[in-house]
Structure 1
C-alpha cells in the first residue's frame, strides 16, 4: 500500500501524519517545543533542535509505522484519531500499516520566519519568528519611509508590520554586518527542512508574498527593483507553488529519517495556509478561523486586493490569492493561565469556565500578551485584565480569556467582506466552549470539520497532489457539525464588546510606558 506523509512545524509542536492516498489517517507523531523569548519583543527557535531534529524523529516514527508488519486493521487508535481527535490526541505514533511504501512527503511550518544559514545549512543564529517577534520596528519605519506606505500597500497587498520578512532581513543584515557571507542563504521553517531533505533552496509563492516589501502581489513574482534598493546583493530563492515537487530525499536525509532515497518532496507552505487547504477552504468567500497558539484567519479571494489592516497574499493553488489576519497570542494565554493556577488538569479549568455566565461576571481581558498584530498593529500592546474582584476565580479568568479573544475575532471579522462560509479548525475547537463563545460574540456560524488534525493533514493532501496520485481538486474534508450563535447572550456580549473596544485606547499610553521598562 502507498502512503504520503505530511509534517507541520508549529509554534508549540512538530506534528506529522501518515495517510493513505484517499485521506485515511494511519498514524500520527508529535514532538513538543516552545519559542525562546530572550528579550521583550523577541521570539526565536533553534532550527536544528526545534525544526530538523524533531522532523527526523517524527518521520522515523511514521516510516517505521509504514514499514511495520502488523495488519492494517490492527492500527491502534487510528479509528479514533480519524474521527477528529484534537491536539490532545496528537501524541506519538499509533499503529502500523502492513508493509507500505511512503511515496511522497510535504512540510509546512510556522511563518513566515527567517533564519540565516551557511552553505552547509548550519544556522548562524536562532531563527526569528513571524509577527510575534517585533524586533525590526526600526526597520519597518525606515522601509516605509524609503518606499512609501501607499506604494507598499498597493504593490505588496499590505502595510509593513512585524509579520513582514523584509524588515527582519534588513535587521539581520545590519546586525550581522560582515557576518553575512556570500554563500549564506535565508530560510523559513519548512524551507529549511526541505533543504536538509533534498539540498534544494526554494520558497513557495505564499511564503514569498509575506516577505514584504520584496514580492509583487499582482505579478506574483519577486519585486527585484525594491530588493536591489533595500538590500543590494541579497540572493533570492526560486519560487514554486506549494504542491509542486521540489526535489527528492538524498542519502544523508534518508539515513536520518527512514525515508527511502529518491522519495519525492513537495514544497509546502506556511502552516495556516496548509491548514486552510486541509479543510477545503479553497473557493472565493471561504474563510478559515484557526484556533491555536494564535488565532489566524485566511479568506480566499476572487482577485488580489489591498485592504488596510489585513494581509493580501498569494494562496496555495497556482494563481490564487487570499486575505489574512492574525492575532499575536490566543491559545498560548490559556497555557499560561493553566500553569499560573498550579497546572491543574485543563478539563477541570474548562469545566469551571463553562459554569461561569456570559460576561464573566464583570471581568474583561485584552489578549495582547505578546503585543498585537491585527487589528491594532501595536508591538508594545500588553495584556490587561480589568474588573477583578475577590469573587473572581480561575474559571472566570479562563472564560474572560476566551471572551477577550472572541472580541478580537469580532473586530477582525468585521473588516472582511464577501465571507460566505467560516470553517473552524485547530485544537481550540475541541471541548466546544471556546468556539461557542466566538460564535456568540461574533454572531457567525462556524463549520467544524470531521478531521481536525490541522496543517499536517493538508500537507499530506499536498503531497498526494504533488506526486500526481490524486487530481488537484481533490478535497478530503467532511463537515462534522456547525456551531450556531446563542441569541440569549447577544445583549451581554454587545456590552462587553463596547467595553473591550474602549479599554485599549484608554490604557495605551500607560501600557506603552510599562512595555519600555
Structure 2
C-alpha cells in the first residue's frame, strides 16, 4: 500500500492506495491563499505542511481497516502537488518570506519587458529561454519571480539556501533533503534530455548570481527516507521511503493513463492544463514548436525516455467559480444552468482570461483579460455560464492544437465531474473523453511513480482504474467548429486591444 498526497493550491488531499487498484477514502484539508496589492498571491509553508500532516495521518489510519492483498504493507509516502511559483527556504527548510503562488502577478512587468526585443534588437528573453529549454515563462514562474526579487528584495534571496517549489518544500520538511523533481525544475531552466540546467538560459534571465539557489534535480527513481520526528507527526513508520514528485500536471497524466506518444490529458482544475505525451528528444523536434511563440512547458518526467509537452492555461474551474459567484449560484447549479442555455449561449460569447497575472498558454501575455460579448436585455444568467464554459473549452482546443494532439484524450479534475461541461469539451474537441471513475488521479500517478521507484511496478490499467467515456456528438461538434473560428478571431482582436497605448497606461502592477 502507498499513502499518496496531493498538495493542491487551496486543498490538500490524501488517500491510501492498494496494489489491486482499490483506494481508501479521500481526506481533505483546506489551506489559505493570501492576496495583497500588486498582484501578490502567497501561501504560508507552515500551514501547508500542517494540512499535509492532517490528511496523511487520516489516510495512514485507514491502513488498519484497508482490505488489501494478503501480506500487503505500507510501502511509501508518494507526494505530488502544485507546480511553479517560488518557495524560498533556508538550509533547515524554514520559509524565507511567504511562499509565492503560481497565481502571483507581481512579476508581470518583468514578463512584459522580457517579451520585447533587447538593446540593439536582441532576441527577447522569453524567446531565448524558450528556444533553449522549450519552456515559456509567465509572471508566476520561477524565472521572472527570482528576477523581481533580485531587483526589489535582494536581501531575501541572500537569506535563502534554495529556491524551489511546493513539493520539494514539503519533502525537505519531512526528510531533511534539499532536492527538486525534474518536472518542477523543467520550467524554465532545465535542459530536459540531459536533466541538467541550461546555464545560458539562467544567464539570459540575469540570474547567474542566483544559480546557487537551484537544487540539482533528483535522479530518476530516487527515494528519500522519512525522519523520525516527521514520521511521528504523520502517523507513519520512521524511515519510510518518500517519493518526491512529479508535480500535479505530469502526475495526473500518468494517473489518467498517458501510455503512448500523441495521447493527451486535460485537467479541468483551478487551472486548465492540457498535456500531450511525446517521446521526442527535444522540443525543436515537435511540429509547430514556434507557432504560438514562447509558451507552454517541455517537462522531464520520472521516466527518461518519456517527455510531456504542456499548455497550462491560467484559468479553468476558477473562471467557472467566478461567474457562478457573480450570479449568486453554486457548483451544484451548473447542470441546470447549462441545460437552460443552448449551444452558443444565445449569442453570448466570452474570453476566459480572468487571471490577474494574464495568460501563459497557448500564448504568454501578462495583459490578457477576459470579457463577455453579445450581451443584451434578453440574455440570462445561464447564458453567461454557458458562454464561459464554452470559452474554456475553446481555450482547451487551442492548447491541444498547439501541442499536436494525435491520440486518445483523457480528462480529470473537478470540472470533469460535470456531465454537461464534459460534453461541451468533447464536442468542442471533436473527440471522445475518457474520464477515470476514481478520484485522486494525481495521487494515483504519484503512487505509480513510487511503485516503479521501489522496483515493484503496478500495471498502468490497474493504477488508472475504470473510466467512463463521454462521446462527442457529430452535430454538436459541427456547430462548435464555427464557434471556435469565431473565438480565435475575437482573441486576435482582443490581443491587439490589450496592448493599445491607452490600455497600457491604466494597467500594470506596483510593488
Q: TM-score, normalised by structure 1?
A: 0.86
Distance in 2 separating the partners of 1:219 and 1:99:
40
Distance in 2 separating the partners of 1:321 and 1:44:
30
Displacement after TM superposition at 1:108 (Å): 1.0
Displacement after TM superposition at 1:264 (Å): 0.6
Residue in structure 2 matched with residue 328 of structure 1 by the alignment: 314
Residues 448 and 226 (structure 1 numbering): CA distance in 2 closer, same or farther, change over 3 Å? Answer: closer
Of stretches 310-319 and 438-447 in structure 1, the one that deviates more from structure 2 is 310-319
Residues 72 and 200 (structure 1 numbering): CA distance in 2 closer, same or farther, change over 3 Å? Answer: closer
Displacement after TM superposition at 1:380 (Å): 1.4
Where do 1:109-128 residues align within 5 Å? 109-128=81-100
Instruction: Verify the 8 A CA contact 1:26 1:97 in the aligned structure 2.
Output: no
Q: Find the residue that maps to 2:74 and give its secondary structure.
A: strand
The alignment covers a number of residue pairs equal to 484
* 1:193-232 alpha-carbon deviations (Å, 9 max, x no partner): 000010001111111111x2x3223422112455466322
Q: Find the residue that maps to 2:367 and give its secondary structure.
A: coil
Of stretches 235-244 and 182-191 in structure 1, the one that deviates more from structure 2 is 235-244
Q: Find the residue that maps to 1:203 and give its secondary structure.
A: coil
Distance in 1 separating the partners of 2:309 and 2:424:
24
Residue in structure 1 matched with residue 53 of structure 2 by the alignment: 56
Displacement after TM superposition at 1:357 (Å): 0.8
The reply to whether residue 33 of structure 1 matches residue 31 of structure 2 is yes
Residue in structure 2 matched with residue 84 of structure 1 by the alignment: none
Instruction: Verify the 8 A CA contact 1:243 1:268 in the aligned structure 2.
Output: no
Displacement after TM superposition at 1:507 (Å): 3.8
Instruction: Verify the 8 A CA contact 1:242 1:269 in the aligned structure 2.
Output: no
Residue in structure 2 matched with residue 14 of structure 1 by the alignment: 12
Residue in structure 2 matched with residue 424 of structure 1 by the alignment: 411
Residue in structure 2 matched with residue 47 of structure 1 by the alignment: 45
Residues 98 and 40 (structure 1 numbering): CA distance in 2 closer, same or farther, change over 3 Å? Answer: farther
Distance in 2 separating the partners of 1:394 and 1:138:
35
Instruction: Verify the 8 A CA contact 1:4 1:105 in the aligned structure 2.
Output: yes
476, 481, 485: which one aligns with 1:498: 485
Q: TM-score, normalised by structure 2?
A: 0.87
Distance in 2 separating the partners of 1:114 and 1:57:
24
Where do 1:342-357 residues align within 5 Å? 342=328, 344-357=329-342
192, 195, 205: which one aligns with 1:217: 192
Of stretches 314-323 and 379-388 in structure 1, the one that deviates more from structure 2 is 314-323
* 1:398-456 alpha-carbon deviations (Å, 9 max, x no partner): 21111011111122222232521111111211131111111212212222223342211
Of stretches 431-440 and 28-37 in structure 1, the one that deviates more from structure 2 is 28-37
Displacement after TM superposition at 1:98 (Å): 12
389, 395, 417: which one aligns with 2:376: 389
283, 288, 294: which one aligns with 1:305: 283
Instruction: Verify the 8 A CA contact 2:300 2:306 in the aligned structure 1.
Output: yes
The reply to whether residue 445 of structure 1 matches residue 432 of structure 2 is yes
Distance in 1 separating the partners of 2:240 and 2:61:
15
Distance in 2 separating the partners of 1:122 and 1:432:
43
The reply to whether residue 4 of structure 1 matches residue 2 of structure 2 is yes
RMSD: 2.7
Residues 242 and 358 (structure 1 numbering): CA distance in 2 closer, same or farther, change over 3 Å? Answer: farther
Instruction: Verify the 8 A CA contact 2:80 2:247 in the aligned structure 1.
Output: yes
Query: Per residue, is there more helix in 1 or in 2?
Result: 2
Distance in 2 separating the partners of 1:448 and 1:474:
13
The reply to whether residue 230 of structure 1 matches residue 216 of structure 2 is no
* 1:352-406 alpha-carbon deviations (Å, 9 max, x no partner): 2123210010111111110222123112111101112223222222211110111
Displacement after TM superposition at 1:147 (Å): 7.5
Instruction: Verify the 8 A CA contact 1:341 1:394 in the aligned structure 2.
Output: yes
